[in-house]
Amino acid sequence: MGIVSPGFRGRPRSGREKLPPGQYLVTDFPVLSAGPTPRVKTRSWEFRITTETGEVHSWDWAAFQALPAEEFQVDLHCVTKWSKLHTNWRGVSLDTLLAQAQTSAEYALARSYGGYTTNLPLADLLDGQAWVAFEYGGRPLTPEHGGPARLLVPHLYLWKSAKWVQGIDLKAKDEPGFWESLGYHNYGDPWREQRYWGD
């Protein structure tokens, strides 16, 4: 820790809400990105699930919009320490998207337009834990925040919620994604503060 700067307070950090260890509350919605914002038009958008045997299930925007969607409210926890609570979204559950996939794979790799990847156990995408979300705060998801659609897996750190999601590959073998291959924890549970390798 550095020397204390007399009189420095920093951004407001609330102590009242229950947050995962090391997090502070924000009321804005920071935008983090590893590259330029992809600009994907819905007319060329495609979401694809590929199983470990090569079986492919894909949806264009119209097909995706025809799927049953739900509204939900979740808390977001970013590994850079900000948390944003009670965020409102609309999206399609991964349970719906994975319903037809025949798989015995245990792992998943989410891929985004622009090249970003992130990995997680397939089990963490199921049972109401994950969505492909396309509306935030009642409006279409903006490109800045991952639109047209992003993955949302709120029980893990937000880097697992791949913006501009393009597809999910189901894999027999775990493959670390973009940040997981450079020091970030392979699983990423904010409540156990799993930020980095070895945490």
Q: Is 62 helix (H, G, I), strand (E, B) or coil?
A: helix
In the complex, least distance from residue 109 CB atom to another protein, rounded to whole angstroms = 17
Q: Please, which residue, 6 or 54, has the CB nearer to another protein? A: 6
Q: CA-to-CA distance for 159 and 30, rounded, in angstroms?
A: 13
Question: C-alpha dihedral over 30, 34, 40, 42, to 10 degrees?
Answer: -50
* Contact with another protein (CB under 8 A) among 8, 16, 21, 86: 8
Q: Does 179 bind another protein (CB under 8 A)?
A: yes
DSSP 145-188: GTTT-EEE-TTS-GGGS-TTEEEEEEESS----TTGGGTB-SS-
In the complex, least distance from residue 78 CB atom to another protein, rounded to whole angstroms = 8
Q: CA-to-CA distance for 193 and 156, rounded, in angstroms?
A: 10
C-beta atoms surrounding 119 within 10 Å? 22
Binding to another protein (CB under 8 A) within 33-72 occurs at 33-37
Stretch that binds another protein, among 7-15, 49-57, 87-95, 96-104 (CB under 8 A): 7-15
* Contact with another protein (CB under 8 A) among 29, 31, 104, 140: 31
Q: Please, which residue, 84 or 90, has the CB nearer to another protein? A: 84
Binding to another protein (CB under 8 A) within 110-149 occurs at 115, 144
Q: CA-to-CA distance for 101 and 124, rounded, in angstroms?
A: 16
* Contact with another protein (CB under 8 A) among 164, 184, 190, 194: 184
User: How many CA atoms within 13 Å lie on the side-chain side of 99?
Assistant: 8
Q: Does 175 bind another protein (CB under 8 A)?
A: no
Q: Does 164 bind another protein (CB under 8 A)?
A: no
* Contact with another protein (CB under 8 A) among 63, 183, 191, 192: 183
Task: Report how far Cα 136 is from the mean position of its chain's Cα atoms.
Answer: 13
Residues that bind another protein (CB under 8 A): 1-11, 13, 24, 30-37, 78-80, 115, 144, 159, 179, 181-184, 195-196
